[in-house]
A and B are shown apart, each in its own frame.
Chain A
Amino acid sequence: MRILLVNFFLLSTLCLYSQNFTVSGTITDEQSGEVLPYVSVFIPETQFGTTSNTYGYFSLSLPLDTYKLNINCMGYVPLVLNVNSGTPANLKIFLKKEIQKTEVIRIARKKSQLEEIHNSTQMSTIKIPVKDIKNIPTIGGESDLIKVVQLLPGVQRGGEGQTGMFVRGGDADQNLVILDEAVVYNIGHLFGFFSVFNSDAIKELTLIKGAFPGNYGGRLSSVLDIKMNDGNMTKFSGAGGVGLLSSRLTLAGPIVKNKVSFMLSGRRTYIDQVFKAVKLPLPYYFYDLNGKLNFVLGQKDRLYLSSYLGNDILAVSDKSDNSFGFGFKLGNITNTLRWNHVFGNRLFANTSLINTLFDYDITGKFEQNSLFISSKVNDYGLKTDFNYYHSNAFEYKFGAQIIEHVFRPNIISTSGEISDVLKSKTPNDLHALEYAMYGNMDWSLMQKKLQITSALRISGCMVKNKTYIAPEPRFSMKYSITKNDIVKASYARMNQYMHLVSSSTVALPTDLWYPVTAGMKPQSSDQVAVGYSRMLPKIGTNISVEGYYKWMDNLVEYKEGANLVLNDHFEKELLQGKGNAYGVEFLVKRDEGRISGWVGYTLSWANRYFPELNNGTPYPARYDRRHNLNIVANVKLTERWIFSAVFVYSSGARFTPQIGAYTVPNASFTGVEIIPVFTSKNAISMAATNRLDINFVRKCKPVKGWKGEWHFGAYNVYNSNTPYRIYLQMDEAGRRYMQKGLFGFIPSVAYNFEF
């Protein structure tokens, strides 16, 4: 550590003595006024360059001279600016959207996002612009961010068709999913069949599976950072879609031109209304609302207020005499107030106030009996992040965050006879104060051939009778063998202070989040990864291979037969143990040109060890799927027709079947009990699964600014068995375990529009 600090001081000092000037600014879309993250800003034929941060801000230190500053972003017309020491600070740079016909010509001289990731020290990271997601076929024609993330290497999906994610051998609760910096606890609607993210309201998503930067923490396996659209500063616009399952509408526009903009987006299913039309009751629906206000307060200040509200609602009742009723409401609310400020022309600050609520209510009524069960998690957070652009060779990031988690589990209110069995109770709130501070340093050596990012995050959590604090060192580096051949390596430690308490191997929306306690220690992981990346700029394609090994400690499992539903003493039913995961991921990705998409293949292993389970021997994790192949292709057939296809192959998930039984006499020797015999834990794999989905998009001719497109798709084209349930089949021929496929061939049609 001391050597690191000394090196850092010496190098910083050397840089300070040179004669430099700084060019800085914010890059925005000329049409909408949205800030553009990850835009490449560089001086050709030199080593000077950087990228805009998440908020579109960049700062670049240059030796005294005059330069041609190139600003390149995928989908935008490249811009060249003359800069010198007289250039004013905090430039406002607008990029024009590229007209499609010129796209092919410009490919050769543009840096794509693939190149940016290829050239950065960041590994195990994939960025996907939402515009690339919209054509990818999914169930019912609904574009679904999480389903697309599940197609990336290193990500295993949970149950077929569901939104559960298992990243690099981790568990479902080890993914930090943040929407405009607010944690989203429940990412699925309809028991996980649809994600809560309305793609029209989303700008971009970034998945990080390892080499975590210092500003992220709190989960072991991945970070899924989702950014909402900012709104349109210059003109009123809209987008939407009508599908078989739901419709959506997004409106955006200026409230005060170039000063204040808004974005409002809504989505609702109408399965209930379709059934109602034919007088069949299906009283279930879900909806999402996203809203954002974007204020430009001046040259150096910008304020954002973003919110999300989503609910699943079921309400069954006997309308004839009102004697029976059952229902639930389950949903998330997130609110983020974000302030961007630039100090001078080198220090950028982002400060956010965050509130998240996840709750569910269950209600029931039968004659004179009534039941109400409620649980919630409420977060109040404050975080601040700084980027300091010290020089062309150094960039520092530092910041801190504090989150108060309030858990209110299992509030029960009953009346009637049921109250004899299920007593009314209002348990005390559980409080956990999670905090972290970090420093992150990026530096370039050997004329940017060697780039290193080192970070130290100190995280902790205060709960009743216990305070945890833990260092989380992170390190990543890249070495350019040639301009297009790069090797990378990383190490990251993560700690997790919350866990999802699930009552069975089946994930339910009613599974509860709980904090660590004095007895339940934080989960932790150490991950090392090495990788090789080759850029093929002529065809805009990146080929990468990464190997990783992850050690996990204090993982949480429940005891065999534990009942955690409405159990306030759940802690004694939980176990803590270890795990490891390792594998190799291959990815060939192309973001531009007539044919784009990716081919991802993962070969992986994931194991668990809990002394109290499986007779104290290690066992494979439930989603230890050996092979996982995903092919995603978007083919531009003509100017108006696009064809997309997804092919998925995956080894089966694991389970523990009963294979035998034996009888023992009861304690009075007057009868026998049958005791089941199971295989060792997760010993059996379901059959491998494969599936092909397709989608055709026909773009209609724009009419007075109205752009429409028809989507004709099909899920599971060749009707393959994609397992979601196992059952024991009994007939005259004997008994056998069978796996039931979820959905077969499902055609879909949808109409999407923009204006």
Chain B
Amino acid sequence: MKKLAFFIFSLALLQGCLPKDKQIVIPAHEPKLVVFSQVIPNSVMIVALAKSFSILDSGYTNDDSGSANADSALLTNLLVTDATVVISYQGKTDTLVNMGKGVYVSLTIPQIVDETYEISVLDHKSKLQISASERMLSLVELKTTSLSQDKNGKFKLNYSFDDPAGSNWYMINVYQVDSTKMDSTQLQVQNLFGSGENQLAQTLFFSDQGFSDSNAAGSLEVNIDTTITKDFIIALSNISPQYYSYLDKRKKSQNLFTEIFKEAINYPTNVKGGYGFFLTHHPSIKYIHLP
């Protein structure tokens, strides 16, 4: 009883003496267009368009764990569904087809290594505009891939490929595949994005600084769940240093201190007047089936 009384008294005293919280005036966020593109070799260039939003908008929450959530209504409102998307290369222009839900595609744009592609977007509704340009880097083919398990049961992805001259940065995406819905003998890279049945297990990235010669080989720890599937697709892309920096910051943003103290991280972009990335890298893929 004495303990409770002391506790209540202390709490009441502290509460009574606590000053009122004050609001801090923050300038309103000006929405910008967000671009994210994907090239599927010899098939299609996909551009996804959306708008950024103020976190003071309804529909956005930031829960106690620090992770961000946005409800589907907000996300739907952010999609840019009425825009003109033009890609220029080698003096030609190609206007992408609006597929709805903020997705624009071109089936005719060829992939020309070392060519600089330029994108310009005009959203007819908001009148927002952006532009970006990106050099298409050469496709780097995976030579060998395998998954091995160490004595602690952790999986490692072993890979090798020919590292082109100069400084290069790479991204490896590991997909878990539902083999009942995908014919591994007829494996095509476009299936990765077409069926929607694959599941991205992990994104790994590294630079070629660790390789002593052009024969790049190494192994990386991967988190995969073999109880779900024994089939995996490994996709290697030769990416720009700016996108590498973006991936690096994304990874770092998950560290405990950044989460707890809400440390600010400003992500790089190659989009003028907007956010996101206009990407022209294209993956080479390998299929792995574990026994």
Q: Do A and B bind each other?
A: yes
Q: Which residues of A contact B (CB under 8 A)?
A: 278-280, 420, 503-506, 559-565, 614-615, 656-681, 684, 686-687, 716, 719-723, 726, 728-730, 734-741, 743-746
* Given A670-B198, A716-B19, A719-B17, A504-B54 contact (CB < 8 Å): no
- Contact partners of A745 in chain B: CB under 8 A: 17
- A3 to B266 alpha-carbon distance, docked (Å): 53
Chain B residue with Cβ nearest A720: B19
Across-interface contacts of A728 in B (CB, < 8 A)? 55, 62
Residues of A within 8 A of B267 (CB): 675
Question: Given that A659-B26, A668-B200 are known contacts, is A675 also in contact with B275, CB under 8 Å in the complex?
Answer: yes
Task: Return A237 CB to nearest CB of chain B, in Å.
Answer: 38
Q: In the complex where A278-B3, A734-B56, A744-B19 touch, is A664 in contact with B34 (Cβ < 8 A)? A: yes
Given contacts A663-B75, A667-B173, A746-B17, contact A560 B68 (CB under 8 A): no
Contact check, B23 vs A737: say whether CB atoms are below 8 A apart: yes
For A680, give the chain B residue with the smallest CB separation. B266
How many angstroms from the CA of A420 to the CA of B154 in the assembled complex?
12
Which residues of chain A are within 8 angstroms of B46 by Cβ–Cβ distance? 669
- In the complex, the chain B residue whose C-beta lies closest to that of A670 is B196
Query: Is B211's beta carbon under 8 Å from chain A?
Result: no
**CB atoms of A730 and B61 under 8 A apart:** yes
A738, B20: Cα distance in complex, Å: 10
Contact of B50 among A663, A720, A736, A738 (CB under 8 A): A663
A662-B50, A668-B198, A739-B24 known, 19 other contacts, Cβ within 8 Å = A280-B3, A503-B257, A559-B252, A658-B55, A659-B54, A661-B52, A661-B55, A662-B32, A666-B200, A669-B193, A670-B196, A681-B264, A728-B62, A734-B56, A741-B21, A741-B22, A743-B17, A744-B18, A744-B19
B6 touches which of A280, A506, A729 (Cβ 8 Å)? A280
A659 near B23: Cβ-Cβ < 8 Å: no
- A658 — which chain B residues lie within 8 A by C-beta? 55, 262, 264
**Chain A neighbourhood of B257, CB < 8 A:** 503-504, 563-565
Contacts of B179-209 to chain A: CB distance below 8 A = 192-193, 196, 198-200, 203
Can you list 19 A-B contacts (CB < 8 A)? A279-B2, A504-B260, A504-B263, A657-B264, A659-B26, A660-B55, A663-B50, A671-B200, A675-B275, A679-B26, A680-B266, A720-B19, A721-B20, A728-B62, A730-B61, A734-B58, A739-B23, A739-B24, A740-B21
Q: What CA separation (Å) do A80 and B264 show in the bound complex?
A: 65
Measured CB to CB, the nearest residue on chain A to B4 is A278
- Which residues of A have CB within 8 Å of B58? 734
Tell me if B86 is interfacial: C-beta within 8 Å of chain A: no
Residues of A within 8 A of B276 (CB): 662, 664
A614, A716, A721: which contacts B22 (Cβ < 8 A)? A721
A664 contacts B48, C-beta separation under 8 Å: yes
CA distance A716 to B14 in the complex (A): 13
Kindly list chain A residues whose C-beta atoms are within 8 Å of the C-beta of B198.
Answer: 668, 670
* B36-95 interface with A by 8 A CB criterion: 36, 38, 46, 48, 50-56, 58, 60-62, 68-70, 75, 78
Q: Which of B20, B258, B264, B265 has the most CB of A within 10 A?
A: B264
Q: Is the CB of B52 within 8 A of A660?
A: yes
Q: Is B175 an interface residue (CB 8 A)?
A: yes
Answer yes or no: B27 CB below 8 A from chain A CBs.
yes
With a cutoff of 8 Å between Cβ atoms, the chain A residues found around residue B145 in the complex are: none
Tell me, in angstroms, the Cα distance from A564 to B255 when the chains sit together. Answer: 10
- Measured between beta carbons, the chain A residues less than 8 angstroms from B228 are none
| In the complex, residue of chain A having the shortest beta-carbon distance to the beta carbon of B249 | A561
Q: Smallest distance from the beta carbon of A693 to chain B beta carbons, Å?
A: 14
User: Smallest CB-CB separation from B29: which chain A residue?
Assistant: A660
CA distance A718 to B171 in the complex (A): 58
The answer to whether B19 touches A505, judged by C-beta atoms less than 8 angstroms apart, is no
B2-A278 in contact (CB<8A): yes
Whether B252 lies near A735 (C-beta < 8 A) is no
Could you tell me if A278 and B55 are in contact, using CB atoms closer than 8 angstroms? no
**Distance of A543 Cα from B255 Cα, bound (Å):** 51
CA gap between A669 and B171 in the complex, in Å:
16
Q: Please report the C-alpha to C-alpha distance between residue A342 and residue B199 in the assembled complex, in whole angstroms.
A: 81
A560 touches B263 (CB 8 A): yes
- On whether the beta carbons of B175 and A668 are closer than 8 Å, the reply is yes
Partner of B48, one of A665, A674, A680, A737: A665
Do A738 and B21 touch across chains, with their CB atoms under 8 A apart? yes
Contact of A737 among B26, B78, B171 (CB under 8 A): B26
Cβ–Cβ < 8 Å partners of A735 in chain B: 55-56, 60
**B165 interface contact, C-beta 8 A:** no
Chain A residues, CB < 8 A from B258: 504, 561, 563
A736-B36 contact, Cβ under 8 Å, with A661-B55, A663-B75, A678-B266: no
A677 to B70, CA, bound (A): 14
Chain B residue nearest to A656 (CB atoms) is B264
Residue of A nearest to B33 (CB): A662
Q: Is B253 among interface residues, defined by CB-CB distance under 8 A?
A: yes
Q: Is the CB of B29 within 8 A of A677?
A: yes
Write out the residue numbers on chain B whose beta carbons fall within 8 Å of the beta carbon of A740: 21
Mark each residue of chain B from 147 to 168: 1 if its CB lies under 8 Å from any CB of chain A, else 0: 0000010000000000000000
Residue in contact with B264 in the complex, picked from A560, A660, A687, A734, CB distance below 8 Å? A560
Q: Do A736 and B56 touch (CB < 8 A)?
A: yes
Distance in angstroms from A158 CB to nearest chain B CB is 15
A686-B24 contact given A663-B70, A668-B192, CB 8 Å threshold: yes
Least CB distance from A723 to B in Å reads 7
Check A660 against B265 for contact (C-beta < 8 Å).
Answer: no
Q: Chain B 106-121 against A: per-residue CB contact (8 Å), 1 yes, 0 no?
A: 0000000000000000
Q: In the complex, what's the smallest C-beta–C-beta distance from A510 to chain B, in angstroms?
A: 11
- State whether A615 touches B50 (Cβ < 8 A): no
- A-side contacts of B26, CB under 8 Å: 657, 659, 679, 684, 736-737
Q: Which of B226-257 contact A (CB under 8 A)?
A: 235, 249-253, 255-257
Q: Which of B19, B203, B252 contacts A560 (CB 8 A)?
A: B252
A723/B264 in contact, CB under 8 A = no
Bound-state Cα–Cα, A687 to B25, Å:
8
Q: B27 to chain A: which residues have CB within 8 Å? A: 659, 679, 684
Query: In the complex, A563 Cα to B31 Cα: how many Å?
Result: 31
Q: In whole Å, how far is A141's beta carbon from the nearest beta carbon of chain B? A: 15
Which residue in chain A gives the minimum CB-CB distance to B24?
A737
**CB contact under 8 A between A662 and B192, given known A505-B261, A667-B173:** no
* Distance A420 CA – B151 CA, assembled complex (angstroms): 13
* Cα distance, A159 to B107, chains bound together (Å): 57
A454 and B265 CA atoms in complex are apart in Å by: 46
- Other-chain residue from B16, B53, B200 in contact with A661 (beta carbon distance below 8 A): B53
A28 to B152, CA, bound (A): 72
CA distance A669 to B260 in the complex (A): 29
Contacts of B251 in A (CB 8 A): 561
